[in-house]
Amino acid sequence: MDDSFRVLSLPTTATEAEIKKAYRKLSLRYHPDKAGKDVDPVKAAARFHEINLAYETLMDPAARARAVQRNAEDAAKRERQDQYEGKRRQMADELERSEKDALQKRQDAIRLARERVTKVAELQAESRRLMKRKQDEIDAKARQRRQAVADRTRMEEEHAKAQREPELLPLDKTVRVQFPTTQLSQLAGTSAGSLEPPADPLSTPLAKTLASQFGELEHLQFQLPSASRKVKRELMALATFKTLLDAWQAVVTGGEMRCTGILEECFVGWAQYTRNSETKDKIYTEPKRVEWYKKHGIARPSDIGHVRPKARPDEAATAAQSGSQDDPSLSASAATIYSQAYEARTLQRLRDAATQANLAQAQATH
């Protein structure tokens, strides 16, 4: 029932001579004993059997006639099928085009609807932006007005604060008293060579002398080294007065080495200090209230109560104060460094001590 002409690769009009020729050619190629190495023996045997059947069919005139008729019928059937398939494909193409057109219309409608929605949203957003911009302008003007009022109020408060005396801190009334180590026993009332602090500092000669010359003390503390550490040439005591006026007067007098009695060799300066950010050295500073006094025209403790503070500090004082705050290391006031008088007195005391030591050595030698 197979297509014998197809097996032998012949047209339906082939003659017997053409059938035999095709058979010999194919049988030689696919004979199991004569097939080449490039042909699979199993496939060659099956192909050879198929060729023999086709040859036998075509060599029989009746069978060949049936094969020709069958091929003609198959060709007619294929033609009808091709025509049917052509119409079916045409109908399918038309249906597909209709569906595509309908889909495109739906997509276009959806796109237009989305564009309308987008346009409406853009218009709404633009409207909100315009309203927000207008509201921001109104809010900005309101903030400017409030800021102007706040700035004016702050300036008035700062001006009023600048006219008020700064708050007095506990350390503002504390001064440092620096004295030669040889005077420790005389100032502390202890035995010579002793580094023990006095039992009652406020009863020591130093406390009584400070109180008699400047004013009553609240606290006095000797800064003494431990027994294991080397004793320096100068020692220091911290004295806290009951009033800033007395502490200020002590600094003014002691800072110029004008104290009398047992304080003659002592230097008095403010106790509070900051440290230089680069050298880490101590920089002694005046209390804020003393700075305020000087900036407002009260240059000495005796001026308090007698000189009325200026309403505004002059520009020179403001500039000097600003420069001192920007760089404390540039301050050269008596509150930050030893005075020249104290340095000269210290050098003279060292010279006298060296001379006495040389004389004592000379006498011991003789």
Confirm whether 30 is domain-assigned: yes
| Tens-place pLDDT, residues 8-28 | 888 888 888 998 998 898 888
What mean pLDDT comes out for the span 303-311? 76
Q: How many domains does the chain have?
A: 2
For residue 344, the model assigns a pLDDT of: 65
Give the CATH number, domain containing residue 12. Answer: 1.10.287.110
- Residue 315 CA to residue 322 CA, distance in Å, equals 10
C-alpha distances (whole Å) from 358 to each of 47, 124, 197 are 140, 103, 32
C-alpha distances (whole Å) from 228 to each of 111, 195, 199, 224 are 95, 11, 21, 12
C-alpha distances (whole Å) from 2 to each of 42, 60, 74, 277, 300 are 20, 15, 12, 110, 137
Confirm whether 148 is domain-assigned: no
Confirm whether 346 is domain-assigned: yes
- 201 within 8 A of 207, measured Cβ to Cβ: yes
Comparing 83-87, 127-131, 157-161, which segment has the lowest mean pLDDT?
Answer: 157-161
Confirm whether 84 is domain-assigned: no
For residue 333, the model assigns a pLDDT of: 47
- Structural domain that includes position 20: 4-59
| Tens-place pLDDT, residues 308-358 | 777 654 444 444 454 444 444 444 444 444 455 556 666 676 677 678 777
Confirm whether 46 is domain-assigned: yes
Domain boundary among 44, 59, 74: 59
What mean pLDDT comes out for the span 233-251? 93
Domain boundary among 28, 59, 90: 59
For residue 204, the model assigns a pLDDT of: 95
Confirm whether 106 is domain-assigned: no
Confirm whether 130 is domain-assigned: no
Q: How confident is the model at residue 287 (pLDDT cuts 50, 70, 90)?
A: very high
| Tens-place pLDDT, residues 197-225 | 899 999 999 999 999 999 999 999 998 88
Domain boundary among 32, 59, 86: 59
Confirm whether 104 is domain-assigned: no
Comparing 48-52, 154-158, 213-217, 331-335, which segment has the lowest mean pLDDT?
Answer: 331-335
- E strand or H helix at 115, and its extent? helix 61-163
Report the largest interatomic distance among the alpha carbons of the chain, rounded to a whole angstrom: 171
- 224 within 8 A of 195, measured Cβ to Cβ: yes
Give DSSP secondary structure letters for 242-264: SSHHHHHHHHHHHHTT---GGGT
Structural tokens at position 191: 């035995």
User: Do 190 and 329 have their domain in common?
Assistant: yes
- 246 within 8 A of 168, measured Cβ to Cβ: no
